[in-house]
Chains A and B, each alone.
Chain A
Amino acid sequence: MPGLPLEGLRVLDLSMWFAGPMGSRLLADMGAEVIKIESLGHIDPWRGPARVTPILIERMPELASVEKPYNRSAGFNLQNRNKYGITLDLRTGRGKEVFMKLVEVSDVVLENYSPRVMDSLDIDYPVLTEINPRLIMMSLPALGRTGPDRDHIAFGQTIDCMSGMAYLTGYPGEEPMLQSGLSYGDPLSGMNAAFAVLSALHYRRRTGRGMHIDLSQVEGLISFNADSVMDYTMNGRVRERMGNRHPSMAPHGCYRCRGEDNWVVIAVSSDAVWERFCQALEQPPWTEDTRFSNLPGRYRHQDELDRLIEVWTVQHDHYDVMRILQRADVPAGPVLNARELTEEPHLNERGIFETVTHPEAGTHPYIGMYARFSKTPGSIRMPAPCLGEHNRYVFGEILGMSEEGISELEELGIIGTEALPEQQGGMF
């Protein structure tokens, strides 16, 4: 197959933070030409602050000499590799004019502003479709483009709350939990967005018609707990937090292993697996206890069973528990942390990490492709763009603007490569 499957597809990406950029990256990784649009006064907050502040230097002295911290953000550089990056101030007449020229020659516009911001910029779908009737526009506001709460403000962790995800996560009988790292709604919405765009493209290829896609991040996430929704609509039952327990397996949980913060999970999914589990442990006397010989018994005495299992697991490293149990075909695996994942033999043999050099951030491994494509494996072809890095390529080569024209936009501050100060940036 010549080239990557999405070669020839051009996506204008106005999205910021995590969800939208993840969506366009899934397309970029497989060959789409994604042009990320920021402006000097509104850089992607995922880049971090526009300037290194004294508070930052106090804590990370190595940043003292860094002029453009926003080109070195871990999170931004992950989500925006394989994309081109330009700056363009859409609040100016000239900026908007250039944007419209780009819309004319693009297939997809992706944005994750709240619906009211798109209205206020006057670049909503009806306006853009006048210029390019084949355009596919992808909007992914938190709660969708319609409905009484459409203008609610939500970050990823808010979406974890609103979608029911947090309600189902937590220790039994205790409060709903957010995860400590980042939100789940963001990457999930990015995946939904990529799937939606690919579906719309197929429709356009058949019919020639573009469309406006309305993706509510909350709705996309609700369906991931469809069984909980259905339990309510079929039985009037509100599912609660179960910790690491399972409604129809026992024992099923996370057990302490030897060493600091070392844990393994074990799932005994049937009576046959229980037999193999006991054999793998070399049948200590408690495994002969008849209370444990069938699922209802094991389920009833889970607390006791968990304590007995942990007496065994604490004697071993979590990888050793995995090997002992997997040899007996018992589902078990270590709880891996970021360092262990990076060093994980299975992941590395499958080539999930790729090492890439970014001109300002340096050389690092990055997570690579989300799937193994047999004929078009794909790779990280280029690092994430520095701010405005591809202005000349996009305005000059794609739009055919003259060098004078581009310089004029620079002088007017409509485009450029240096962020205006006073931007605080986001999480990283």
Chain B
Amino acid sequence: MEQALSGVRVLDVTHYIAGPYCTKLLADYGAEVVKVERHGTGDGARRIGPFYKDDPHPEKSGLFLYLNTNKRGVTLNLKSETGIRIFRELVVDADILVENFSPRVMASLGLDYESLERINPGLVMTSISNFGQTGPYRDYKATEIVADAMGGWMSIIGHPDREPLKPGGNQAQFVSGLFGCVGTMTAFHGRELTGVGQHVDISLMDAVLYIQMNITQIYHYHERVTSRIGNMVLPPPGSILPCRDGYIGAIAVTNSQWQSLCEWMGKPELASDERFLTRIHRTENVDELIATLIPWLLEHDQEELLREAQKRRIPFGIPAGADRLLNSEHLNERGYFVDVEHPVTGKVRYPGAQFGLGDLPYELKPAPLLGEHNEEIYCHRLGYNKKDLVRLRETGVI
């Protein structure tokens, strides 16, 4: 099956979310990804839910299964000399290496970029870490919420008189994984032209800063600190508000969208009301504007509001939970969700392509079982024989 990245060889020594998401995307678009897992326990994501039928089994983590589609998986003990030697053989054979250990780990194994460059000068090596490979916080500990806080994201989510909020889910980790793809493919493009690889350093803190970079830009231009102002994107209306059967994203950005909304509400006089005349006025009188809107919204249902708003070219949206997404006629007609057959869980529906590349094929093959491809990679690619494999297993290398 010919895909965009067919033939690109990726060595993947990542775990949890950020690194695996980066290599998953490369694999989904055709790269040959070999994922190296710690022998014995494997990727820590195997121990994180949601689990299939809530059974906490290492082959049933939905998070792991999603993040490792289309990869081949081997186990390797990087704490053994033989393990390191085999890893270096895999590096010689790779175009790209992605890792997301904390910054000192690769160097302590003798696998830092400078060492690997000597055995493979064309190698593109991407490192994803919490705070990057340099700087005073390099060795600090972080989890998702720490990156959300220190990159500034939490400073703009929440009500002003209450605690700042993190965005739902694991956004900092996913975002840095995607930055990993952009950085890797950029460096790889240069490598293809010049033959010279390089090291790409991605940090979660930088990635979060990048996602809401407008706030530092506004500060640099206007010395204004954007603070959290509640459930609202300006100009108003730009909030999720209650309606008759739930919530609706009531959003009108431009003057003409606001005018259409006033007409629809049966209150055309509001469009020429000087409190709401322009974006600036609407922002200054936001509380009054929202107060006018709520009683009207409460008389209508989500679906009705969405349909009528869209007919009038007003960008309302329904805040969708997982059930709404999976049942979306639009997403299903586009074939966004993909059924994946996995030997342990059977068939499960996964989120599909990030984007469609022309008419090139896209499919999701299931994530590897722990050590599933040891024989294929070690014997067929590196040339070890079955006897070697047994010995490696007995000595705790794989």
Binds A, one of B77-85, B146-154, B378-386, B387-395: B146-154
CA distance A4 to B182 in the complex (A): 14
CA distance A280 to B280 in the complex (A): 49
User: Chain A residues near B182 (CB, 8 Å)?
Assistant: 26, 191, 194-195, 198, 370-371
Q: Is A85 an interface residue (CB 8 A)?
A: no
In the bound complex, do residue B209 and residue A227 qualify as a contact, i.e. CB atoms below 8 Å apart?
A: no
Q: Is A95 an interface residue (CB 8 A)?
A: no
User: Chain A residues near B281 (CB, 8 Å)?
Assistant: 55
Interface size grouping (class) on chain B: 35 or more
A244 touching B165 in the complex, CB below 8 Å, given contacts A147-B333, A342-B219, A352-B209 = yes
- Add 19 more A-B contacts to A155-B253, A192-B178, A227-B62 (CB < 8 A): A1-B190, A53-B278, A59-B280, A78-B214, A147-B330, A149-B330, A156-B233, A158-B315, A191-B178, A202-B185, A211-B358, A213-B355, A229-B322, A233-B350, A254-B149, A326-B137, A333-B150, A337-B226, A367-B216
Among A176, A180, A222, point to the contact of B228 (Cβ < 8 A).
A180
Minimum CB distance partner of A252 in chain B: B145
CA distance A238 to B191 in the complex (A): 44
Minimum CB distance partner of A150 in chain B: B330
In the bound complex, do residue B216 and residue A350 qualify as a contact, i.e. CB atoms below 8 Å apart?
A: no
Binds A, one of B33-41, B195-203, B265-273, B368-376: B195-203
Minimum CB distance partner of A206 in chain B: B7
CA distance A77 to B226 in the complex (A): 18
User: Chain B residues near A283 (CB, 8 Å)?
Assistant: none
| Interface 0/1 of B121-156, CB less than 8 Å to A | 000000000011111110011111111111111111
In the bound complex, do residue A373 and residue B183 qualify as a contact, i.e. CB atoms below 8 Å apart?
A: yes
User: Chain B residues near A198 (CB, 8 Å)?
Assistant: 182, 185-186, 188-189
| Interface 0/1 of B216-229, CB less than 8 Å to A | 11111110111111
In the bound complex, do residue B231 and residue A177 qualify as a contact, i.e. CB atoms below 8 Å apart?
A: yes
In the bound complex, do residue B214 and residue A75 qualify as a contact, i.e. CB atoms below 8 Å apart?
A: yes
CA distance A178 to B179 in the complex (A): 23
Q: Is A148 an interface residue (CB 8 A)?
A: yes
| Interface 0/1 of A196-221, CB less than 8 Å to B | 10111111011100111111101110
Q: Is B279 an interface residue (CB 8 A)?
A: yes
Q: List 22 A-B contacts (CB under 8 A).
A: A1-B194, A161-B240, A161-B320, A164-B319, A175-B242, A176-B240, A177-B157, A223-B354, A226-B67, A227-B49, A233-B348, A233-B349, A237-B50, A238-B321, A254-B166, A326-B141, A341-B216, A371-B206, A372-B132, A372-B134, A424-B279, A428-B218
Among B319, B322, B336, point to the contact of A228 (Cβ < 8 A).
B322
CA distance A93 to B148 in the complex (A): 49
User: Chain A residues near B187 (CB, 8 Å)?
Assistant: 5, 373, 376
Among B174, B185, B233, B278, point to the contact of A182 (Cβ < 8 A).
B233
In the bound complex, do residue A220 and residue B354 qualify as a contact, i.e. CB atoms below 8 Å apart?
A: yes
User: Chain B residues near A55 (CB, 8 Å)?
Assistant: 277-278, 280-281
| Interface 0/1 of A5-48, CB less than 8 Å to B | 11011000000000000000010001000000000000000000
Q: Is A2 an interface residue (CB 8 A)?
A: yes
CA distance A234 to B62 in the complex (A): 8
Among B142, B171, B360, point to the contact of A224 (Cβ < 8 A).
B171
Q: Tell me the chain A residues, 354-413 only, with Cβ under 8 Å from chain B.
A: 361, 364-367, 370-376
In the bound complex, do residue A254 and residue B163 qualify as a contact, i.e. CB atoms below 8 Å apart?
A: yes
Q: Tell me the chain B residues, 1-45 only, with Cβ under 8 Å from chain A.
A: 2-8, 25, 29
Q: Is B94 an interface residue (CB 8 A)?
A: no
In the bound complex, do residue B134 and residue A334 qualify as a contact, i.e. CB atoms below 8 Å apart?
A: no
Distance from A359 Cβ to chain B, minimum over Cβ atoms (Å): 15
In the bound complex, do residue B198 and residue A374 qualify as a contact, i.e. CB atoms below 8 Å apart?
A: yes
Q: Tell me the chain A residues, 155-184 only, with Cβ under 8 Å from chain B.
A: 155-171, 175-184
Among B54, B185, B317, B356, point to the contact of A235 (Cβ < 8 A).
B54
User: Chain B residues near A373 (CB, 8 Å)?
Assistant: 183, 186-187, 198-201
